[in-house]
Structure 1
Amino acid sequence: MQTRLQQSKLEEVSMILRGLWTRRNMMIFERKFESPRKVLTAAMTSLQNFQGARAALNQLKGPNVQTRKDTKWKPTDEGVSKVNFDAAIDKNNYKLGLGIVARNHVGEVLFTLSSSKLFSGNSDMAKAAALWRAMELVLELDVRMVVFEGDSDRVIKGVTDVGGNYAWMEQQYANIRGRMLLRLDWSVSFIHRKGNCVAMH
């Protein structure tokens, strides 16, 4: 599909497949059966929310948008999956948009997630929430050997710097570090748009 479909269609297919997987799990574990129309509608709504959040993020970043477009995805070592996470805030409507995509070492998409929810906070809280949700998803799907990659220097430092002073964000960072300690096959890395990187194992 990656070689035959346009990006917009590939995004639609990814969201529909995610919806079908969720529908299957609901049937098995909760004995609930969603109609195909409801699955399709939910998938398209989630995709629209993600696209809206992405557009809002690009507007917020202004001159940095071109830098983001010029940044190329870098493959991981064989057997390692990379999970990219991002978040955008719609301050006018008090909403948070989350975007997550996982790829294997050859760049094949393993799974994606986009969601939105009511939110009142700053960008650090939003990025930390995206990282937390990415970790939940990896646990849910039982993916092993994972690098979580994000572009928020402050959040990655908050997660990796145990002795840092991050005041009211410290509890959130401590929760993420606690989850990392239980999974030695996970790491978190910051991707600087000029190529610098900070990592935690």
Structure 2
Amino acid sequence: MMRDPEDVVHALWLCKEISCVWLSLEWFHQAVPVQPLCFRELLSRFMYCPDEFRAEIFVTTAWSIWNRRIALHFGRSALPVDQICSSAGNFLQEFLAAQDTETALPNPPSPQRWCPPMTDVCKVNFDAAVFRSSNLVGLGVVVRDSSGAMIGALSAPTPLGSSVAELEALACMRAVQFASEIGLTRVVFEGDSTAVIKALREGLGELTCYGNVLDDIREHVSVFQSFDFNLVSRLCNSVADALAKKASSVEGVQVWLGDLPADIAPFLFHDVH
């Protein structure tokens, strides 16, 4: 029986063993409608792709497939095929998160203090804190009006996830749910995760392990009359951070309406005075 030649195109694109990687991304095959003759031709299909980051996604995925092939060749443990897409997506998101936040998003916020929103708009800040000793993560959410007054706050523990960005995405999802539960209509959501905020604002993140969380967030925000996602520095997110850390000492979801617990209130006072 004749076998396909073992060239780069076969190893990265045509090999049946890794076909499920590319089949899960329909637009990849739309970009390459016919079998490429060489790797340069395959690469060129994505290098001139008009959609942002598709070239990066292809290169990162191909790099992951090649690394897996090398690991198998030398008898080392290798990434399972069904995890290649999510692994490549996470790698790309981590790279984006490492970039200068001032150039990643327009209008970078002041690094000193939380800024109130415009009239009739509420700001919902969210954050996550990791407690590795207990394999838990704390999620913190605080809602404030245009004068900086606290409307509601939430602190909740949740199982530890696979990446920091995934945890921040879960915190954002909880913030969106909380805002909906207390009846907000015009909202700005703020967090200090570049990867999550950029993904939500620019429609990215489909290849990450938390892509389903991002999809849920996009679906849930449709109930608001208006919404936006802003990147803020950690200094501007101190109340949500404190609430996330407080989750280590609470059981289940804790909600406060109107007043913050005594150990969190000073953070809010500092922000608005």
- TM-score of Structure 1 vs Structure 2, range by shorter chain: 0.5 to 0.7
Shift of 1:178: 2.0
CA deviations 1:89-115 (Å, max 9, x no partner) are 112210010111111001101011111
Q: CA deviation at 1:75?
A: 1.0
Is 1:89 equivalent to 2:130 in the alignment?
A: yes
2:140 is matched with which residue?
99
Residues 143 and 120 from structure 1, CA distance in 2 versus in 1: closer, same or farther, beyond 3 angstroms? Answer: same
Partner of 1:180: 221
Measured in 1, the distance between the counterparts of 2:234 and 2:138 equals 22
Do residues 153 (structure 1) and 174 (structure 2) align? no
The match for 1:135 among 169, 176, 187 is: 176
Give the AA of the match of 1:123. Answer: V
- TM-score when scaled to structure 1? 0.57
- The percentage of counterpart residues that share the same residue type is 29
Paired residue type of 2:153: T
The answer to whether the Cα contact below 8 Å between 2:191 and 2:230 also exists between their aligned partners in 1 is yes
Partner of 2:160 in structure 1?
Answer: 119
2:116 touches 2:148 (CA, 8 Å); kept in 1?
yes
Residue by residue over 1:101-157, the C-alpha shift from the partner in whole angstroms, topping out at 9 and shown as x without a partner, is 111001101011111133232211111111111111111111121111000000111
Could you state the TM-score of these two structures normalised by the residue count of structure 2?
A: 0.43
- In structure 1, the residue matched to 2:69 is none
C-alpha deviation, 1:173, in angstroms: 1.3
Unaligned runs of 5+ in 1: 1-69, 196-201
Describe how 1:48-67 pairs up with structure 2 within 5 A.
none
Distance apart, 1:164 and its partner CA: 5.3
3-state SS in 2 of match to 1:110:
strand
> Are 1:71 and 2:120 matched, yes or no?
no
Give unpaired runs (5+ residues) of structure 2. Answer: 1-110, 237-273
1:119 to 1:167, Cα distance in 2 relative to 1, 3 A: closer
CA distance in 1, matches of 2:162, 2:129: 11
SS of the aligned residue for 2:210 comes to helix
Please, which moves more after superposition, 136-145 or 169-178? 169-178
Contact 1:71 1:193 in 2 (8 A): no
Rounded Cα–Cα distance in structure 1 between residues aligned with 2:125 and 2:159: 22
